[in-house]
Structure 1
Amino acid sequence: MPKLIWREPIETTTITNKPPGGEGPGLETVPRARLSPEQQAEPRRRVITLGDIAGRESGGLVVLLVAIGALTLASDEFLTGNNLSNLARQVAIFGIIAVGQLLVILTAGIDLSVGSILGLSGASTAQFLVAGMPIVPAILLGVGIGTALGVVNGLLVTRALLPPFIATLGMLGIARGIVLVSTDAQTIQGVPEAFQVIANGTILGIPNLLIVAAAVTAVMWFVLTRTVFGRYIYAVGSNPESARLAGVPVRMVTISVYMISGLLAGLGGVLLASRLGAGIPTAGTGFELSAIAACVIGGASLFGAKGSAIGAATGALIMGVLNNGGNLLAINAFYLQIAIGVLILVAVGFDQLNTRRSASSGG
């Protein structure tokens, strides 16, 4: 099982050792009083198993399967091809944004600007297209706007030392104000049909949006579980000072996760404009809260270092299934908001309970 290892000063706590070539965890926590002089001269090794991180998504998968089973029994229309296609298109954009939000949350940060960045990127792309710009350059510029704003968020957090909540809250207002001013709060219409096919088309009957969302999730899963950068992200979220002492470029990692979050928000804005066939300046309002909720429901901890890309995508799918099922069963949408709120509280409550149990057991 891949392991994330970094070093901390021995004076802070105990030392954890693994026998060379040993099978299984093979871990032993030794109190300071029992350390040999050689061990005291070496920094402590702290081990995080990525398998434990990935296992946090299991609860979300259970909830998803239960919801799907209940809706299948309650409505004959739920498993129809047309409904599943619509569900996939509805969930895909939320899933893309949630995966980007997850990277920020893993570093114990938060990005409240993704909804506004989505709206700005989508409306800007529509403006470029209506002005006669070719589709590919317009898309690249739209995504580039989101990426640039993500970098600014990262710089505000790492260089200006603003709390992530404040930095991204300010960017939320700035991005939304820019899009309202640039569009005069008017919908941008007249985008080419070829652009609309990107989000509304299918490949072998599978919606393009679902393919893009699955690809983004797969890439982020690989990055988080199979690359050094992914391990750095978890290290920064667990203990940034220890990560810095171990040689992790904490500032660069932090800027990078905000940049990726902005990039995926920009991609989501482009895809939403393609799906709607227009640039809507108010698009994305409230999406930041939905993205955070999807991450939490999917097993991420707002305290950092806990969560997975598959879990975030699962959380987005749970929210989409509940909304879709509510529409099919003609349930008041306000009740659905209550249900999602309860899910968030339950998810956070279980996370806190597990954290307290681990602390009390010395894990």
Structure 2
Amino acid sequence: MQKTESSPNVTGRAAVIERMREAGILVILLLGAVVFSLTVPSFFSVDNAITGIGLSAAINTIVAIGLTYVIMTGGIDLSVGSTAALSAVIGADLMQRGLPALLAVVVALAVGAAAGLVNGLLITRIQLAPFIVTLGTMTFYRGLALSYTNGQPILSLPDGFKNALGGTVLGLPIPLLVALLLVGVFTFILRYTKTGQYILAIGGNAEAVRLSGINTDRFVTLTYVISGMLAAVAALVLIAQLGAAEPILGNGWELSAIAASVVGGTSLAGGKGNVVGALFGALLLSMLQNVLTLLGVQAFYQLLATGLIIIGAMVIDRYTRGK
């Protein structure tokens, strides 16, 4: 198979445009860092770079990787925030009840994967629209998280768990290292495995892939399982930082993750995705939100900025695809 993060049909001019977009995201990210460090004195401090930007971007990156895989097939997952909350409160409750942290983490990851599996089966077996399915499960999973905890946070998580996922290694936060590791793993899958190529091909032309004898439903379902499991990973590293799990955790994560993925070069039309681009997109969004916060800009203006970035990325994608 072709070793590229583009659809196998992307050649010539389209491939050049895609690489230019990837380079452009990195250039914008670097220029933004320079401009913001010159205009906002506290922006480039070590504490702000690692805590204010790095941790936020790490969480968003982990979720955005899963969304990237889903979007590449032409789907969408609006339930990631609710899946994260459900996974977090179940894992935290089991730890509080005395279950070893490692086993509780495994259960939480299984909950996330199961939530994604339900999404995938509803979409592939019953042929429901991804938007409708995940809109429904977004509400359902959130309701489960709230009912499981009676709307109360779960406090006093074990120190071993907090140190394992919320500590630092060589001065770098473990959540950031986890995010970078996952970027490497899922980039490898996308570029060098048949699974990655099939996922991209499904987004480009699902019917052609199906006629070639490939079980498209299996790979579409797999992307939702990945999305749910990575939402659980993000939730676990976050509650390790906070030392508590709340049923309202993850609210709005779907917007941020979709934005990071689209800004990073993933097409909402499917058939094209970029995991490294999702990392760059998450860093860019986190950097922008951090600067706005340092400047005292109110939160609703930050939402406006995120929305405009998504629209801008979609416009660029439309015209670079020639559609």
Pick the TM interval, shorter chain.
over 0.9
Corresponding residue for 2:35?
Answer: 70
CA gap 1:54/1:115 in 2 versus in 1, 3 angstroms: farther
1:2 positional shift: 2.9
For residues 224-262 of structure 1, the C-alpha deviation after alignment (integer angstroms, 9 at most, x for no partner) is 111111100110000000011122220111011011001
Higher helix share: 2
Paired letter, 1:129:
M
Question: 1 CA distance for matches of 2:304 and 2:170?
Answer: 37
For residues 321-352 of structure 1, the C-alpha deviation after alignment (integer angstroms, 9 at most, x for no partner) is 01111122223333322222221111111111
Q: Confirm or deny that 1:246 pairs with 2:212.
A: yes
Residue among 193, 209, 213 paired with 2:175: 209
Question: 2 CA distance for matches of 1:339 and 1:66?
Answer: 18
CA gap 1:54/1:142 in 2 versus in 1, 3 angstroms: farther
Corresponding residue for 1:350?
Answer: 316
Corresponding residue for 2:187?
Answer: 221
For residues 149-177 of structure 1, the C-alpha deviation after alignment (integer angstroms, 9 at most, x for no partner) is 11111100110110001111111111101
Question: 2 CA distance for matches of 1:246 and 1:288?
Answer: 33
Higher strand share: 1
Structure 1 gap ranges (5+): 5-45
1:3 positional shift: 5.6
User: For 1:1-363, what aligned pairs fall within 5 Å after superposition?
Assistant: 2=2, 47-49=9-11, 56-86=21-51, 87-356=53-322
> Alignment partner of 2:95: what SS?
helix
Question: 2 CA distance for matches of 1:180 and 1:215?
Answer: 31
1:355 positional shift: 2.2
Contact 1:54 1:307 in 2 (8 A): no
Deviates more, 1:79-88 or 1:154-163: 79-88
Contact 1:146 1:262 in 2 (8 A): yes
Percent of aligned pairs with the same amino acid: 40
RMSD: 1.8
1:55 positional shift: 5.2
1:75 positional shift: 2.0
Question: 2 CA distance for matches of 1:328 and 1:170?
Answer: 36
Deviates more, 1:186-195 or 1:95-104: 186-195
- TM-score under structure 2 normalisation? 0.93
- TM-score under structure 1 normalisation? 0.83
How many pairs does the alignment contain? 316
Question: 1 CA distance for matches of 2:25 and 2:197?
Answer: 23
Structure 2 gap ranges (5+): none
For residues 30-85 of structure 1, the C-alpha deviation after alignment (integer angstroms, 9 at most, x for no partner) is xxxxxxxxxxxxxxxx7335966565433322221222111111122222211112
The structure whose Rg is larger is: 1
Question: 2 CA distance for matches of 1:201 and 1:187?
Answer: 22
> Alignment partner of 1:47: what SS?
coil
